[in-house]
Amino acid sequence: MSEPHESGAGIRPADGQPQADADFLRSFKRFLERVNETPPDARVQRTPFGEELSDFLGADAEALPVVVEEFASYRIVDADIALEEIAGRGEARLVGVAGGSAHAHAGLAELISSPHLPFKPGPAEFAEKATGPKTTRQVVSFGARLLSYRGARVVIMQRASRPDMGRPQSQLEVLTTAEPALVSELLGEVRSLMVERSVLRGKVLAFESSDFRMDAGATFLERPDVAEGDVILPFGVLESVVAHVIEIGRQREVLLAAGQHLKRGVLLYGPPGTGKTLTVRHLLSRTEGVTAVLLTGSSIQHISAAAELARTLQPSIVVLEDIDLVAMERHASPQPLLFEVLDALDGLDGDADVAFIMTTNRVQVLERALVSRPGRVDLAVEIALPGGPERFRLLEKYAAGLPFSEAALAEAAQRAEQTTGSFSKELVRRAVLTAARKGVEVDDDILLHELDELMSAQSALTRRLLGDGSEPDGIGDDSDDEGGMSAAAAQARAALFEGTGPARYSTTYVPLGVQSDFGWTAHVPASGDSDQPGATSVPSGSEHPDTKHPDAQRPDGA
């Protein structure tokens, strides 16, 4: 007769394997055996945590419905403030769940009754969350609030987002014996308080993507401090932008009384380094108390969430920097991200005090889509390369306190054509550095000598890197007057999916990471093709019925 032995006793640590790993494997094996031994029809057992909630509610918690409310991860502080205010109106207590991290994967119903994991009451879990650039608040990240609302006993399970564990959004789970109408009233008040007490209101936020989540995270930024004198643009340019972005908000009541809309869209366009971002920073510095949401690069994919937050916390500003870089970004669907941006602009009511500010270095990529949807942008301002007077003012700014004559600065400004503020800043720095290396005081001669060096043929690349308005090599090489391949793709997609036609090219869409044979091609006939009544699609790689048509070829002749 064989000796009885403990389940899992045969597991021994392999060479180099820590004893803790072997202990874990042994415990896990015992757990699996218990799962296998449980009859399929075994009654689900109420957990000690479930008993706690049932005692508080005066009813069987297992039999009560759970109402779930989800919200963006960056709103957890707002929810915590709202629930704390509601709980503070009467007796309330906070209960957590003991027993490791298993509860993180379980819903409230599973925490109340489980055949395998007897969840027990324990301390609530807290997390430190930002409430501003330099301030934080401890919030309940996992815990049940047991409180009274309108005379009814209510349990509210509060969870912060855990994108690393498959929960990208924060969550409230409500359990009560009261009628559904009371739950709706409670959640409605929570939402209202989240808006009224929001720590996001009046702050500058940057939306960012995460490796773990599909929704956006938000980071608080210091509000910029850029004086009007620091923004050197041709006369009247800055004033027109300020009037459109700021003055409309200041005249809100007058405009609404006259039946005029408040929502506005501003496009700042021009070569790199000409002051578009500095202009935006100046606008933010002049709008203290206005909520600002900044999107750039891949974070522009969160435009819908940004627009919704801006509408909720108006007055607000949404900034989309370098929108041309993502205008042609490929989606899982063939609709460019640019059209999603335009949809977000169009989705707000006219009385929403929200300003959308977009910046771009390549307006030709955007122009067709913007023209095809009039009214999304109601002010387009060119921020061009600085002219002679602006270059002189830039040199004066960067040379403040240095012994340069006005004549030398004027000569440098006149000779430094097709340069940006970065060039002027670097010129002054080089003059100071050269003088320091020589052990002499910086003067006009050194300034003009450094100008000669920077304007020489050998420094052509340096000038381009400092900003001279030229396109980098390879950009625009295959372009036509409508933007080249980028414009061709935008045109075809717009005609197909947005009804902006007509388009002149075939466009192939290929799912990322697979061969082109698994994509599909859509042909949009050229204007005037009477024998082509509409768009057709064929599997990518097969012969198109009109492949010999000249307008069906790629613009680069490939």
- The pLDDT value recorded for residue 500 is 47
Q: How confident is the model at residue 455 (pLDDT cuts 50, 70, 90)?
A: confident
Token pair recorded at residue 9: 């006793």
Q: What is the pLDDT of residues 354-369, one digit of tens each?
A: 999 999 988 887 777 7
H runs (alpha helix) in 218-285? 237-242, 248-250, 252-257, 276-285
- Contact assessment for residue 244 and residue 262, using Cβ atoms and an 8 Å cutoff: no
The residue-averaged pLDDT of 4-31 equals 64
Q: How confident is the model at residue 373 (pLDDT cuts 50, 70, 90)?
A: confident
Q: 112 or 210: whose pLDDT is higher?
A: 112
- How many CB atoms sit inside 10 A of residue 369's CB? 22
Pairing status of strand 291-296 against strand 520-523: unpaired
Q: What is the pLDDT of residues 65-84, one digit of tens each?
A: 999 999 999 999 999 999 99
- The pLDDT value recorded for residue 477 is 39
- The pLDDT value recorded for residue 246 is 92
On the question of pLDDT at 548 being above 60, the answer is no
**Percent of the chain scored above 70 by pLDDT?**
74
On the question of pLDDT at 242 being above 80, the answer is yes
DSSP string, 71-105: E-GGGHHHHHHHHHHHHTTS-EEEEEEESTTGGGG
Q: What is the pLDDT of residues 394-451, one digit of tens each?
A: 999 999 999 999 999 999 999 999 888 889 999 999 999 999 999 999 999 999 999 9
Q: What is the pLDDT of residues 379-403, one digit of tens each?
A: 999 999 999 999 999 999 999 999 9
**CA-CA distance, 238 to 246, in Å (whole number)?**
12
Q: 105 or 539: whose pLDDT is higher?
A: 105
- The pLDDT value recorded for residue 343 is 78
On the question of pLDDT at 532 being above 50, the answer is no
- The pLDDT value recorded for residue 542 is 43
Instruction: Report the sign of the C-alpha dihedral through residues 78, 80, 83, 87, in that order.
Output: negative
Mean pLDDT value across the chain: 79
Phi and psi (nearest 5°) for 389?
-60, -40
On the question of pLDDT at 537 being above 80, the answer is no
Q: Out of 32-41, 95-104, 371-380, which region has the weakest mean confidence (pLDDT)?
A: 32-41
Q: What is the pLDDT of residues 149-166, one digit of tens each?
A: 999 999 999 999 888 777
On the question of pLDDT at 286 being above 80, the answer is yes
The residue-averaged pLDDT of 332-351 equals 67
Q: What is the pLDDT of residues 164-176, one digit of tens each?
A: 777 889 999 999 9
Q: How confident is the model at residue 458 (pLDDT cuts 50, 70, 90)?
A: low
Q: How confident is the model at residue 351 (pLDDT cuts 50, 70, 90)?
A: confident
H runs (alpha helix) in 348-483? 363-372, 388-398, 406-415, 421-438, 444-455, 460-466
- The pLDDT value recorded for residue 65 is 94
- How many CB atoms sit inside 10 A of residue 105's CB? 12
Q: What is the pLDDT of residues 468-496, one digit of tens each?
A: 666 655 444 333 333 334 444 445 444 54
The residue-averaged pLDDT of 324-329 equals 64
Which residue ranges form the domains of the chain, and what is each CATH number?
1-37 (no CATH), 48-196 (no CATH), 217-382 (3.40.50.300), 388-466 (1.10.8.60), 484-552 (no CATH)
- The pLDDT value recorded for residue 166 is 76
- The pLDDT value recorded for residue 482 is 38
Q: What is the pLDDT of residues 180-235, one digit of tens each?
A: 999 999 999 999 999 999 999 999 999 877 655 555 678 999 999 999 999 999 99
The residue-averaged pLDDT of 530-556 equals 42
The residue-averaged pLDDT of 18-35 equals 76
Q: What is the pLDDT of residues 314-324, one digit of tens each?
A: 999 999 998 87
pTM equals 0.72
Please, what's the b/e burial string for 320-344 (b: 16 or more CB within 10 A of its CB; e: otherwise)? bbbbbbbbbeeeeebbbbbbbbbbb
- The pLDDT value recorded for residue 205 is 95
Q: 540 or 225: whose pLDDT is higher?
A: 225
- The pLDDT value recorded for residue 16 is 55
Instruction: Report the sign of the C-alpha dihedral through residues 150, 156, 158, 163, in that order.
Output: negative
Sort residue 325 into left (φ over 0), alpha (ψ -120 to 50) or beta. alpha
